[in-house]
């Protein structure tokens, strides 16, 4: 199953939906038969202009940019869908590497549930912090998103901006930084790409001289278990009306599928506490692969496995030698002597017993 199939596997292709910010790489394009409304902050002509001036955009992908149907921010998804007369009628919403940029995550999720119909699905591809430039940033907590919700935050906080500047990670191979890496790479090859003092100066200039300007950063940082825990916590507290279908890990991202809830959360406090504890422990397990000690222990285990395999091969060789000797003529000739020796030992044992 490829990436696109993992994202779309719970979607109804014949249904109507919204894709958030697909730019030149749409997941559910109209040309493939999807009835999709494109949501973006830029109009079609501006998206093409930006793609043409960006050397990282393949030239043959510019033609894949589709006209924008809903012009605005994904934070206003519900209002945009409502203005199109489609509130509560969408079969699906697709978001690829978008949710981490949204300043008010809770309101976005609330907007999705209002936009979806009774069986509608929200499918997201989310960057895994262990396989991207968020490598050194702490996981987003429930308190973080609650604070943004209470503040009705419209742009990234100054703290989120500083973390982006000061902890932006790269993988260094042969002394050269690479722009992308996957989960599970050698953690010794990952380090912050900039100087702390320089990052501080950049941040300070933006905060003091451009306080009203919007600087796009990752507001939220997740690994699979941490995001699942957050979603379940929000659902349990009655802050969102979306039920988790599943999460699935990919090389440098993970996939999350949610369905509009049919009613209030019915799970008991004890049941939820057990689920939450399991997820908290899974978060610890997830985090360990970014540790140098984990890598060292893993290499030690590989050495142990090699030694076990070597000893297993030696034992097999010795068994073959024994079997070869057992089938030889000398083994058959000496069989009566071995029988006599065995009986003698048995008689002596009875005498001394």
Residue 330 and residue 228 in one domain: no
Residue 268 and residue 310 in one domain: no
Q: From 261, 290, 319, give the residue that closes a domain.
A: 290
> What pLDDT digit, counting tens, does each position of 152-196 carry?
999 999 999 999 999 999 999 988 998 789 999 999 999 999 899
Q: Are 286 and 224 in contact (CB under 8 A)?
A: yes
Q: Which of 83-87, 126-130, 319-323 has the lowest mean pLDDT?
A: 319-323
Both tokens assigned to 289: 């692969």
Residue 124 pLDDT > 90:
yes
> What pLDDT digit, counting tens, does each position of 251-276 carry?
999 999 999 999 999 999 999 999 99
Residue 139 and residue 180 in one domain: yes
> What pLDDT digit, counting tens, does each position of 218-233 carry?
999 999 999 999 999 9
Place of tokens 């890496």: 181
Supply the CATH number for residue 248's domain.
Answer: 3.40.50.150
- β-pairing verdict for 35-40 and 90-96: unpaired
CA distance 67 to 43: 8
Tally of domains in the chain: 2
Residue 269 and residue 347 in one domain: no
Both tokens assigned to 280: 């908290």
Q: From 254, 275, 290, give the residue that closes a domain.
A: 290
Residue 346 pLDDT > 90:
no
Q: What is the pLDDT of residue 319?
A: 74
Sign of CA dihedral 13, 14, 20, 25: positive
Q: Which pTM value belongs to this model?
A: 0.82
% of the chain at pLDDT higher than 90: 78
Q: What is the pLDDT of residue 226?
A: 98
Both tokens assigned to 9: 């596997």
Sign of CA dihedral 298, 300, 301, 302: positive
Residue 113 and residue 248 in one domain: yes
Q: From 243, 266, 290, give the residue that closes a domain.
A: 290
- For residues 81-98, give the mean pLDDT: 97
Q: Are 71 and 48 in contact (CB under 8 A)?
A: no
Residue 181 and residue 121 in one domain: yes
Which domain covers residue 333, as residue numbers? 295-352
Q: What is the pLDDT of residue 179?
A: 73
Residue 135 and residue 240 in one domain: yes
Q: What is the pLDDT of residue 317?
A: 72
Residue 282 and residue 333 in one domain: no
Residue 310 pLDDT > 80:
no
Q: What is the pLDDT of residue 312?
A: 72
Choose between 293 and 276: higher pLDDT.
Answer: 276
Q: Which residues contact 204 (CB under 8 A, 6 or more apart)?
A: none
Residue 324 pLDDT > 80:
no
Residue 205 and residue 251 in one domain: yes
Residue 175 and residue 284 in one domain: yes
Confidence class for position 131, pLDDT limits 50, 70, 90: very high
Residue 82 and residue 199 in one domain: yes
Q: Which residues pair with 67 in a beta bridge?
A: none
Residue 72 pLDDT > 80:
yes
Residue 127 and residue 236 in one domain: yes
């Amino acid at each position: 199953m490829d990436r696109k199939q993992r994202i779309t596997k719970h979607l109804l292709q014949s249904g109507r939906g919204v894709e958030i910010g697909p730019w030149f790489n749409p997941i559910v394009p109209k040309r493939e038969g999807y009835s999709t409304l494109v949501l973006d902050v830029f109009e079609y002509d501006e998206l093409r202009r930006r793609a043409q001036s960006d050397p990282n955009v393949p030239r043959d992908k510019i033609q894949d940019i589709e006209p924008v149907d809903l012009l605005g921010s994904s934070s206003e998804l519900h209002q945009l869908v409502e203005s199109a007369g489609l509130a509560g009628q969408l079969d699906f919403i697709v978001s690829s590497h978008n949710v981490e940029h949204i300043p008010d995550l809770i309101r976005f999720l609330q907007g999705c549930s209002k936009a979806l119909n009774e069986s509608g699905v929200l499918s997201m591809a989310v960057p895994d912090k262990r396989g991207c430039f968020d490598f050194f940033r702490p996981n987003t907590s429930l308190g973080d998103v609650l604070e943004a919700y209470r503040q009705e935050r419209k742009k990234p906080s100054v703290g989120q901006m500083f973390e982006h500047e000061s902890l932006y990670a790269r993988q260094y191979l042969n002394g050269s930084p690479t722009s992308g890496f996957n989960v599970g790479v050698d953690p010794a090859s990952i380090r912050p790409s900039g100087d702390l003092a320089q990052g501080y100066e950049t941040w300070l200039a933006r905060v003091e001289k451009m306080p009203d300007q919007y600087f796009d950063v990752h507001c939220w940082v997740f690994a699979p278990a941490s995001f699942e825990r957050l979603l379940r916590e929000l659902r349990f507290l009655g802050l969102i009306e979306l039920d988790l279908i599943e999460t699935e890990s990919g090389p440098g991202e993970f996939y999350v599928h949610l369905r509009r809830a049919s009613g209030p959360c019915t799970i008991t406090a004890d049941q939820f506490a057990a689920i939450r504890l399991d997820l908290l422990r899974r978060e610890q397990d997830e985090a360990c692969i970014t540790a140098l000690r984990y890598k060292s222990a893993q290499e030690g285990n590989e050495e142990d496995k090699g030694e076990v395999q070597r000893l297993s091969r030696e034992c097999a060789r010795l068994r073959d030698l024994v079997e070869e000797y057992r089938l030889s003529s000398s083994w058959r000739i000496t069989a009566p002597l071995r029988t006599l020796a065995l009986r003698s030992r048995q008689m002596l044992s009875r005498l001394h017993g």
